[in-house]
Structure 1
């Protein structure tokens, strides 16, 4: 896939594109404390110590960018972890990667999980209410919110374990969400009368 497609621009990416011989994890979100990229990087370092062909793409910008770069350097992951910055079209890169991973300590309705599900990507997420509400019922793997939980989730994926037990039907999901919305609006209107 060309870098123009990934960036929708003329500049080539500053990071290597995912290779088929590698196992490519990806996370997408702002570089901020609640996303806890440090926990993800510490977990990834355990996996990377055992596997040469493993990569992690971190898509996003934020206040913790320099801190994250320092952690990557300290953990000797500069050839395995790539900060892409903010991408106009992150879906092309997401689609080239093998597994989406979310390490947030807390999260609302994680739209990025829905986007990964629509692309049919296996998902690993730490346990918090937002991701749980999207993935419960077998749409992805929910792990303990810790380095150990993330390590176990990544190992399960690398060992061929199935993470998504159900195929995500975005049309049914959208219809169900709209019905819930209209139900709530009708209830509010009836209460006002």
Structure 2
């Protein structure tokens, strides 16, 4: 079996693959994540996932490499990671009481094949008071996450409901990813 590499420094993606009992190593890449306004959000996350995977695959061509990226989309606008506290507050205020999409793109590469896909999950926030937003900002959780929240942490208290794959909101659509990895010879260790 080929070595399997996760091309992501995300602790959440690492935890999800560990949850699925898949053996892997982590190797991050440094790519430009500037939002390309020409691409749709679905195209953008798949493009970034592929760029991350390719950057690692270029020096590991005997491996299977997985790259992934997640964005939050509100009213057609991509919300990436906040630049600072004020930007995070602005994002959370915009998301308050509204439904948005979380789109996660995945790319899997080997020397024989390549697969890219995305999963979209709809998330509805509660109407948030300024005090609730400030309390969440105090957790420091929003600052390294798309849309300025993490559903797997205290950010779960902001979410009224979701429609779709919870794990895609966390950062990796786990069940679909495991199924796709099986086509590359990567399977859970059970």
TM-score where L is the length of structure 2: 0.24
When you count strand as a share of all residues, which structure comes out higher? 2
Q: Which structure exhibits the higher relative contact order, with contacts defined as CA atoms closer than 8 Å and separated by 6 or more residues?
A: 2
TM-score where L is the length of structure 1: 0.24
Specify the structure having the higher radius of gyration (Cα). 1
